[in-house]
Amino acid sequence: MSGTETPVIARLLNTARYPLTQPGSVAWRHTVSHARAALRGGGCCVLSDFIAPELVDTLRAQSAAMAPAAHYRVETVNAYNIALDTPLPAEHPGRVRMQRGNAFVPRDKIPAGAVIQRLYTEPVFQRFVADCFELAQVHELADPLASLCLNVVPPGESHPWHFDVNELTVSMLTQAGEGGIFEYCPNIRSADAENFDDVRAVLDDRGEHLVHRLSLRPGDLQLFRGRYALHRVTPVRGTVARHTAILAYTQHPGVVSSLERTRQLFGRVTPEHRAAIRRTVRADRLLD
Ligand SMILES: O=C(O)CCC(=O)C(=O)O
Ligand SMILES: [Fe+2]
């Protein structure tokens, strides 16, 4: 790179606030220690105005252009996204059925030049994400559809309570909808404890004391431990859909979503999903 060339990452981000072009600098370490403290405490960190201010409109326009490519189908699901006929005891939270009205634009329908594609694969960004999550390295989710998505919550719909497959989720609101609040229950489960009682309490609206809420603006970056925090987006009102880019990373390479979950979310599976059945990689032994 010549001395005058601006690195791609510098054009994408609000580098005045977030020093991603200087890995390891004092300013970098300051941001990382803030993120680490928030992630250790509540499994969630919001870095406001993360994207370059002049790109916030582009981000919104690009997401609005790709939203029609989402797989729209309102479905009945449970919080674990496992088959509804899975035999479970009466009090099990997996028996609670919810309506899922959000829709995902899969990675293979997101243009290569889109801001969110460039950010997702940017090595300096991945290094920053790893540093924030206190990992030596993060891996892109090895899933051709779920690794990078746009989550579309149309007016009148919601994205009900669930856990993520991947341990590390990075997301960015690209278009705000009226309502559509992100709610989450930090560390409600861990890699070795499902804590079904508290999960059931939240699903039955008896768990208000466990619920936290975020106020997000387009271009904010959210780092989140979604495998251990039950979370949802409340119903969107008005006329404008809520759009969020979901950038999924994992601690271990080779993580692919199950066939059941992939069919639910995208309405199709790929040869990579079929090939992965025999070598499913998970960092834990949780239900999903
Ligand atoms: O759209 C959001 O803010 C949350 C999306 C989410 O939880 C997911 O896609 O798993
Ligand atoms: Fe999620």
pLDDT 10s digits, 18-71: 989 898 899 999 999 999 999 999 999 999 999 999 999 999 999 999 999 999
How far, in Å, CA of 219 to CA of 237, rounded?
Answer: 21
Mutate to test the pocket of ligand 1, among 151, 185, 228 (most ligand atoms within 8 A of CB): 151
CATH classification for the domain delimited by 8-279, as one of 3.30.450.40, 3.40.710.10, 2.40.30.10, 2.60.120.620: 2.60.120.620
Quote the pTM value: 0.92
Distance from Cα 4 to the centre of ligand 2, integer Å: 40
How far, in Å, CA of 259 to CA of 257, rounded?
Answer: 7
Maximum Cα–Cα distance for the chain, whole Å?
65
Q: Which atom of ligand 1 is nearest to 244's Cα?
A: 1
Token couple for 180: 């559509």
The answer to whether residue 166 scores a pLDDT higher than 90 is no
Residue list, ligand 1 pocket, CB within 6 Å? 151, 159, 164, 171, 182, 231, 233, 244, 246
Contact of 126 with 138, CB cutoff 8 Å: yes
Domain layout of the chain by residue ranges: 8-279
Distance from Cα 151 to the centre of ligand 1, integer Å: 6
Contact of 230 with 161, CB cutoff 8 Å: yes
Q: Which atom of ligand 1 is nearest to 151's Cα?
A: 1
Q: DSSP assignment, residue 169?
A: E
The answer to whether residue 2 scores a pLDDT higher than 80 is no
**89-103, 143-157, 206-220, 243-257 — which is least confidently predicted?**
243-257
